[in-house]
Amino acid sequence: MQLNGLTIQPGERVMTRLVISRLPSGTIIDVPVHVFRSQEPGPTVLLMAGMHGDEVNGVETVRRLIQQDLLWPLRGTIIAIPLLNIYGFLNFSREVPDGKDVNRSFPGNPRGSLASRVAHRFMREIMPLVDYGIDFHTGGASRSNHPQVRCLLDHEPSATLARTFAAPFTLHAKLRRGSLREAAFGLGKSIIVYETGESLRFDEAGIELAVAGTYRVLHHLGMVAEATPAIQPSIVCWRGRWLRARFAGLFRSQVRKGDYIEQGQVYGIITDPYGEMAVRLESPVSGYVVGLNHMPVVNQGDALLHIGLTEPAPGPTEDAGAPAPAV
């Protein structure tokens, strides 16, 4: 295996650093990449986090797998990248310093924006080696996600990985232009996205589910000897809908992530700060709360709840006005 100018032999463990760029101060920014190779041939699996620098749950998941020495495969190769977006991580930011989203910049350009250069280096060095992958993410902008996998459910290799991972929820998510999943799909590679919690905060339960789900995938591929079975099968949601604030004010939710709510059920209340107005919020649909806004101060049009719907339907799988998911 050739990576970053190194030849990595079967049975070796290597940590190499991909140099991405320099800060204005001249400081080099490089991305640590851990490679674990078995003596036995097999698939290559990518475990990557930190595409968005403020999404720390994935970073902790991959770090924990490395630190606890859980990634020596019985066959094949595991490539683990705990943190891709070093810039965003240092600045508590989703984006890189040019304000662009790395996960909307694939396949990248070596002479493009900084985000595009990060994507290009990844596509040149890492993607040609990968057969399967798990891309770890977290909800953003005060929106917290219940543990969930996002993938193309009508693409059997991806759907199989998602079923094996067995997160509490599995969401059918179309490919987003410029995303890692889209770039990988174009090369015939299967990558699923795992989401849990909210940015800049640890979600310990979601991290533990991520570790267990990752091991189930590795076990399915014959790369580890055993894995903990899922407690219950994943709830499959074929489409989603965001419920948005019709009024500005103070939002208080009356439901929790993972709850099932009925059409017409009151899921929250919006009040003004002065005690003159209070509006009860009723759900227009029945479904599962897979995402929840924890920001108490909301403006008109802000996303409040992400509802997962279990029945397939024609048309887009995401509400047209929804915040773009990190997939």
Residues 137-159 pLDDT 10s = 999 878 999 999 999 999 999 99
Query: Residue 295: pLDDT above 60?
Result: yes
Tell me the C-alpha distance between 105 and 112, whole Å: 10
pLDDT (tens digit per residue) in 158-187: 999 999 999 999 999 999 999 999 999 999
Give the CA count within 13 Å in the CB-facing half-sphere of 119: 26
The tokens describing 4, both together, are 């970053």
**Alpha carbon of 10 to those of 45, 74, 125: distances in Å?**
15, 11, 18
What type of residue is 147?
A: P
Query: Residue 322: pLDDT above 80?
Result: no
Question: How high is the pLDDT of residue 251?
Answer: 97
**Alpha carbon of 31 to those of 27, 53, 150, 202: distances in Å?**
13, 12, 25, 22
Question: How high is the pLDDT of residue 316?
Answer: 47
Query: Residue 311: pLDDT above 90?
Result: no
Average confidence (pLDDT) over 266-283 = 96
Tell me the C-alpha distance between 241 and 226, whole Å: 37
Average confidence (pLDDT) over 4-31 = 90
Question: How high is the pLDDT of residue 17?
Answer: 95
Question: How high is the pLDDT of residue 315?
Answer: 52
Can you give 242-259 as a three-state secondary structure string? EEECCCCEEEEECCCCCC
Average confidence (pLDDT) over 243-272 = 97
pLDDT (tens digit per residue) in 70-112: 999 999 999 999 999 998 998 889 998 888 999 999 999 999 9
Average confidence (pLDDT) over 265-285 = 96
Residue 327 — very low, low, confident or very high, per pLDDT cuts 50/70/90? low
Average confidence (pLDDT) over 16-39 = 90
Tell me the C-alpha distance between 66 and 35, whole Å: 10
Residue 308 sits at the vertex; the CA angle it makes with 306 and 311, to the nearest 5 degrees, is 150
Distance from the Cα of residue 295 to its chain's centroid: 21
From the number of C-beta atoms within 10 Å of its C-beta (0-12, 13-18, 19+), residue 268 rates as buried
Question: How high is the pLDDT of residue 325?
Answer: 46
Closest CA to 134 of 75, 52, 237, 61: 61
Query: Residue 313: pLDDT above 80?
Result: no
Question: How high is the pLDDT of residue 102?
Answer: 94
Average confidence (pLDDT) over 224-228 = 94
